[in-house]
Amino acid sequence: MNIKQAKEYIKNSVSLYLKKDEFGEYRVPVVRQRPIFLLGAPGIGKTAIMEQIAQELGIALVAYSMTHHTRQSALGLPFIEKKTYGGREYPVSEYTMSEIIASIYDTMEESGIKEGILFLDEINCVSETLAPSMLQFLQYKVFGRHAVPEGWVIVTAGNPPEYNKSVREFDVVTMDRLKVLPVEPDYRIWKEYAVERGVHAAVLNFLDLKKDDFYVMEMTTEGRSYVTARGWEDLSEILKLYEEEELKVEESLVEQYVRNPKVVKEFTAYYDLFNKYKKDYRIEEILAGTPSVQALARAKEASFDERLSLLGMLLDKVQGEMKDVMEQAAYLSELRTPLKLIQGKLQAPDMQCDVIAMLDAQIEGRKKALFHLQTAGSLSDEDRRKYKRVLRFLEERRKELFLRDYPGAEEPKDAAAAQEAAFAWIRQKYQGEITRMKQETERAGARLHSLFAFAEQAFSSEAGGDGNEMLILVTELTVGKHSSAFLATFGSEDYRRHNEELMLSERQGDLKSQIAELGL
C-alpha cells in the first residue's frame, strides 16, 4: 500500500481502539489492541502521517526513535526497595519509570489531552540488550514495571533489512502480535502532500518528468546510493533560502540531499533550465494578463517537457496565492470568535468591562491553548500560523489601546463611551483585514483567469496543442487542497467551463470506445 492508504488505515484503527462503551470502557481491551507496524523504506513520510493523524483526531502524539534507547532508558533504572513479607523485611529490586512512559504522562499533564499515539520508530533496530523486552512490550504495553496508560495506541515503524544493516528481523511470535502494514513509495501520493507543503516547483516539475528519480535505493561500487522523499523536501527548503539570498545552486549543494550522482547531475541541469524558462517566459507578465508575443510564440512551439515546466511554474505561483487567501480566510474566521465575545460583554446592560482587560484574557487563554496543542504534538503548521496571526492581531490592538494610539482616544468621554470607542477601533482594524483579504482574493482570481487565457492561446488545439496541458491544469487545480477550497469558495468561470468541457470530452471518448468494441 502507499503512505496515504496506510494513513487512513491507521487513523481508522486508532479511532476504533479509542471507542468506548456505555460504561466508559474501551470496546477493544488494551491487551487486544495490536500495535501497528509500518514497514517501509526510509524517508517516505511515516513520521509525517503520524503527526497528521494526531492533528485530525485531536489527540496527543509522543514519538521516539528506538535506536537512541538503551535498556536502562527504555525500561528504567534499578533500585533497591525494602518490602515486608510474612512479617519480615526484604530488599527488593524495583525500577524507575521508563523515560518513554514518563514522556506520555508529562504530555498528558502539560497538554490536558488524555488520549494519544505512542509512535516508536525504527523498532526493529533496538539494541541487543533491549530486544528481549520488546516482545513483552508489544503484547502487554509494558516497559519494565510500568504500563502505557489506557487511551494510548501504539504505532511502530521500521525499515526492511535491505535498507538498514542494523535491522533485527522479528520472529513469528513477535510478528503475530502486530498489525503489519508494508508501505511502498508512491510519487503521485507524495505530490499531493508536497503541493500542500509548498515544495519548490523545480523539484515537482523535475519529478513530473522523471518519476523514477523520486525514490532510488541501489548499491554501487562506491557504496549505497539513495534518493528519498525526505531528501527532496529538505532540498526544496534550502533552494528557497538560496534564492532569497541570491546564492548560486551547484551540484555540491544538491548532492548533500540527493545521494545519487546521476540524479544529482540531472536535477542540477534541470534547475538551471527551470530558471532560464522563468526568465525567458516572464512569468509575472503572463499572470498579469500581458504575456509577450515572444512568450506566446515560444510556448506554441515548445516541446511537451518545456510546456509542462512552464505550466508547473505558473501553477506554483497561482496555487501559492490561493493558499495565502484561504489561510487569511481561516485566520479571520478564527479571529471573529474573541471579537464577538468582547462585543457581547460590551453590549450587556450592566456592562462593567474594560476592553484591555478582555483582550488580556483572550491573549492569555489563546497562548495557553497554543502551548497545550504544541505540547501534545497535535498542531499542524497551518493551524499554528492561524493561531499566531490571531494572537498578533490581539496583541497589536492591546498595545494601541494601552498607548491610546488610535483616533479619538484623547477625546473626553464617560467610561462606557470610552470602551465603545476602543472596540470601534478594533472593529475598524478587523474590517481592514477583511478588505485586504477581498483584494487578495480578487487578485488571485484575476491571475487564475490570466493563466487560463494564456493556456487557451498557447496550448489549445488551434495553437497546435493536444489538450493535455489544459487537462493537467484543471486536474492540478482540482486535486490541490487549497486551490480546490478556493474554487469551491469563490468560484471561477474559466475553471468551471474547462472542467465541463473536459468531462464532456471524456464521456465522448468512453462512448467511442464502447462503440468500437461493439464493432458498430
Q: How many CA atoms lie within 13 A of 56 on its CB side?
A: 13
| Tens digit of pLDDT at every position of the chain (520 positions) | 888 899 999 999 999 999 988 888 888 888 788 889 998 887 788 888 888 899 899 899 998 887 766 666 667 777 788 888 888 888 887 777 778 888 899 999 988 899 999 998 888 777 777 777 777 787 778 877 788 888 999 998 888 776 666 667 776 777 777 888 988 888 988 888 888 888 999 999 999 999 999 998 887 767 778 898 889 999 999 999 999 999 999 999 999 999 899 999 999 999 999 999 999 999 999 999 999 999 999 998 888 889 989 999 999 999 999 999 999 999 999 999 999 999 888 887 766 678 899 999 999 999 998 988 888 888 888 899 999 999 999 999 999 999 888 877 777 667 788 888 889 999 999 999 999 999 999 999 999 999 999 999 888 765 555 568 888 899 999 988 899 999 999 999 999 998 887 775 554 455 445 434 444 3
Torsion of CA 228, 232, 235, 241, to 10 degrees: -150
Domain edges within the chain: 3-184, 186-281, 300-520
**What pLDDT, on a 0 to 100 scale, did the predictor assign at position 42?**
77
What whole-number distance in Å separates Cα of residue 291 and Cα of residue 281? 8
Q: Which residues contact 233 (CB under 8 A, 6 or more apart)?
A: 194, 197, 199
447 and 317 in contact (C-beta within 8 Å)?
A: yes
Question: Burial letters for 77-100: b for 16+ Cβ neighbours within 10 Å, e otherwise?
Answer: eeeeeeeeeeeeeeeeeebebbbb
First to last CA, the chain: 41
- Report d(CA 82, CA 12) in Å as an integer: 46
Three cell numbers written together for 214? 523520486
Task: Read off φ and ψ for residue 333, nearest 5 degrees.
Answer: -65, -40
- Whole-angstrom CA distances from 321 to 9, 98, 326 are 33, 47, 9
What does each C-alpha distance from 239 to 123, 198, 248, 249 come to in angstroms? 33, 12, 10, 8
User: What span, in angstroms and rounded, lies between the C-alpha atoms of 137 and 10?
Assistant: 19
pTM equals: 0.81
Q: What is the pLDDT of residue 166?
A: 66
CA distance 515 to 520: 6
CA 125/CA 107 separation, integer angstroms: 25
CA gap 520, 383 in Å, rounded: 57
Q: Where are the beta strands (DSSP E) in 72-134?
A: 78-85, 88-95, 116-121
| Residue appearing with cell numbers 527488593 | 92
Check: CATH 3.40.50.300 for 3-184?
yes
pLDDT at residue 392 in the model = 96
